[in-house]
Amino acid sequence: MSDEAAHQRARELLAPDERLVFIRGGHCEHYDSRRDAAPPVGAECDNFRPFKDHYYVYTRARADQPLNLTRLGAEPGAARVRGVTVVQVATRPEGKQVVVGWFRGATAFAEFATRPFPPRRPFCFEASVDRAVLLRPDERTLVVPKGRPGEMGQSQVRYASDAAGRLLLTDWMIDIVREIRRREAARGLATADDPRPGPTPRQRAAIDRFARARAIEHFAALYTTVTDVHDHEPFDLLCSNRGDRSALRVAVVGTTGEADSVLVTSAAVDSARAHRTALFIASELTWADAEAAVLRPDGWRRDVIDRWTPADHDLNPTAYAWHNPTFKPRRR
């Protein structure tokens, strides 16, 4: 295949100005040192540890300048470049080198910086949580070839471009990017064609319905009465038994992501601080049909916090209601 044909195939898979790079590191289950039981493999052990809605991603390098940004389309001397898809590669315990996850729309840095959380180890990519995917161990089936020319060699970084930064995708890279796109669509995540983060309104409604239904099933086995009140209360369910002096309030959260960081409303937090409340989280939801907003009934994770009393240090503000002092209502 000619270079021009290969370039055209790359452009059909990636958004304009999107660049692609593969990075290799040790194998972990969660890539979050707070959760992985095995000894850390290096700074990459926290590549999927969220901090204020971002991941701070490390790849091993021999120098203070871990990345050649001109290979990612940047001008010579640039300190950073945006719009990079970073594919995390690792060798499974049984020996296969596979894709374990990826980060869309990441910012790549020419020099190492320090992560904003302890232990303050280095990073060289920053990525938004809502555009990243960490595959479960049983999902890590995308094999990354190695050993032959054009495959991933001994280097920890494999650029999908030539020395001038012009995209140059090999067949194995194209196969992996296509599979990444397919899996993103199944999860309802942003893609190169649809850069909007998060699920559509229809998908969001399906996620909420699924989570509430599973929560009702859970609490119906524990309480005589379980009432769905989500349409007029800051929480979702009200549970009670005969003779109880007070009912249990339940806030329900559904997400296609992991349960380590979830979105809750300020009204739900205020209610939980004032009343006995449980938090039910249905996470790692996957789509049977993303376009039709149909979720798979299995493979998801349940977390129940029986006494949910959210503390300030566990909350990260993601939005504010701003009062506009210059606003004047229109005359009618």
For 163-176, how does the pLDDT look when each residue is reduced to its tens digit (9 = 90+)? Answer: 888 888 888 999 99
Please give the pLDDT value at position 244: 76
- Domain shared by 85 and 182, yes or no: yes
Tokens of 94: 């049984």
Does residue 323 form part of some domain? no
Sign of CA dihedral 153, 154, 158, 161: negative
| CA separation, residue 310 to residues 249, 273, 315 (Å) | 14, 7, 7
**Residue-averaged pLDDT of the chain:** 86
More confident residue, 57 or 316: 57
> What is the rounded distance in angstroms from the CA atom of residue 99 to the CA atom of residue 130?
19
Task: Decide if 302 is inside a domain.
Answer: yes
Tens digit of each residue's pLDDT (9 = 90 or more) over 274-322: 999 999 999 989 888 877 889 999 989 999 999 999 998 888 776 666 7
Within a domain: residue 320? no
pLDDT tens readout for residues 173-192: 999 998 988 888 766 655 44
- Is the pLDDT at 197 greater than 60? The verdict is no
In a domain, 194, yes or no: no
- Quick one: 174 and 276 in the same domain? no
The torsion defined by the Cα of 140, 126, 37 and 143, in degrees rounded to 10, comes to: 20
Q: Provide the residue range defining the domain that includes 249.
A: 201-314
- Give the pair of three-digit tokens for residue 195: 């850069």
- Same structural domain for residues 52 and 172? yes
C-alpha–C-alpha distance, residues 73 and 161, integer Å: 9
pLDDT score, position 87:
97
324 falls within a domain? no
Give the Cα separation of 160 and 144 in Å (integer): 13
Q: Does residue 61 lie within any of the structural domains? A: yes
In terms of pLDDT, which residue wins out, 6 or 271?
A: 271
Indicate whether 158 and 50 sit together in one domain.
Answer: yes
Q: pLDDT grade, residue 324 (50/70/90)?
A: confident
Same domain, 167 and 245: no
Within this chain, do residues 97 and 162 fall inside the same structural domain, yes or no? yes
Tell me what the mean pLDDT of segment 57-80 comes to. 86
Last residue of a domain, one of 141, 157, 187: 187
**Cα–Cα distance measured from residue 79 to residue 209, given in angstroms and rounded to the nearest whole number:** 45
pLDDT grade for 153, boundaries at 50, 70 and 90: confident
Do 171 and 274 belong together in one domain? no
pLDDT at residue 195, rounded to an integer:
45
Confidence check: pLDDT of 162 > 80:
yes
Same domain, yes or no: 36 and 73: yes
Q: By the 8 A CB rule, do 239 and 247 touch?
A: yes
Statement to judge: residues 112 and 234 lie in one domain: no
- For residues 120 and 8, membership in a common domain is answered with yes
Instruction: List the helix and strand counts (H, then E) for the chain.
Output: 4, 14
Number of domains in the chain: 2
Cα–Cα distances in Å, from 28 out to 34, 40, 43, 53?
Answer: 12, 8, 11, 21
- Collect all residues with Cβ–Cβ distance below 8 Å to 75 and sequence separation of at least 6: none
pTM metric for this prediction: 0.59
Residue 14 included in any domain:
yes
